[in-house]
Amino acid sequence: MIKRNPIDEMKEGEVPETAGNMEAAPPKSEAAPADLGAEIEQARAQAAEWQDKYLRKLAEFDNFRKRTRQEQEMLRQWVVENVIASLLPVTDDFDRMLDSPGDENDPLRKGAELIRDKLRAFFESYEVKKIECVGRIFNPDEHDALMTQPTPGFPAGTVLAVIAPGYRMGERVIRHAQVVVSSEPEPDEEMGGD
């Protein structure tokens, strides 16, 4: 039997189907452009969704950074206030010691004055100031009334004396002043003691 060659049997202009020249072209149809358009729209929607997620995460991280920075600043402020508040009684002790009578030329007294002045300079560097009280109206945001005293000639609620000074750091009160406050005179005192 004679074997036939498939190339001999081909018509003129035909290309033989071999593994080397077969193309994997999709069948041509009208639905292909519509599918492609849908895929593009789907890809755009997915890209927009990922961009939205990215922007939200970026905003979350920015808010986290701001919140962390604010918390660190509040913590630093709290630590500074606590350190200063713990040094205030030391300053009060130096003031009481230096207000007592004694030899002005005593070396210990001079040393105490130097230490007190350094503490005051330290407080000033942090804007710590004494709260002025005497003669002013009692303010519970700045003063702690330890006692009241009926005093004619002063309106009720006036600060008469300071037992322990109060301090303010910037606008914030870090220690209330302990004060004596005037009150209304007793009715018997007004009438002349009848």
In a domain, 72, yes or no: yes
Residue 49 shares a structural domain with residue 122: yes
Residue 51 shares a structural domain with residue 120: yes
- What pLDDT score does 18 carry? 53
Instruction: Give CA angle at 184 (182, 187), nearest 5°.
Output: 145
In a domain, 29, yes or no: no
Single-letter amino acid, residue 8: D
| Region of poorest pLDDT, from 7-11, 134-138, 185-189 | 7-11
Contact 128/167 with Cβ under 8 angstroms?
A: yes
Contact 131/168 with Cβ under 8 angstroms?
A: yes
Q: Can you give the residue range of the structural domain that contains 193?
A: 129-194
In a domain, 91, yes or no: yes
| Structure token digits, residue 160 | 């008469």
The secondary element (H helix, E strand) that includes residue 49 is helix 31-99
Q: How confident is the model at residue 184 (pLDDT cuts 50, 70, 90)?
A: confident
Q: Could you say which of 96, 126, 156 is where a domain stops?
A: 126
What would the pLDDT profile of 141-153 be if each residue is shown by its tens digit?
999 999 988 888 8
Most confident of 30-39, 59-68, 126-135: 59-68
In a domain, 15, yes or no: no
In a domain, 26, yes or no: no
Q: Is 185 exposed, middle or buried (0-12, 13-18, 19+ CB in 10 A)?
A: middle
Query: What percent of the chain shows pLDDT beyond 90?
Result: 51
Q: How confident is the model at residue 13 (pLDDT cuts 50, 70, 90)?
A: low
Three-class SS of residue 105? coil
The count of domains in the chain is 2
| Structure token digits, residue 30 | 């009208």
Closest alpha carbon to 175 in 145, 132, 142: 142
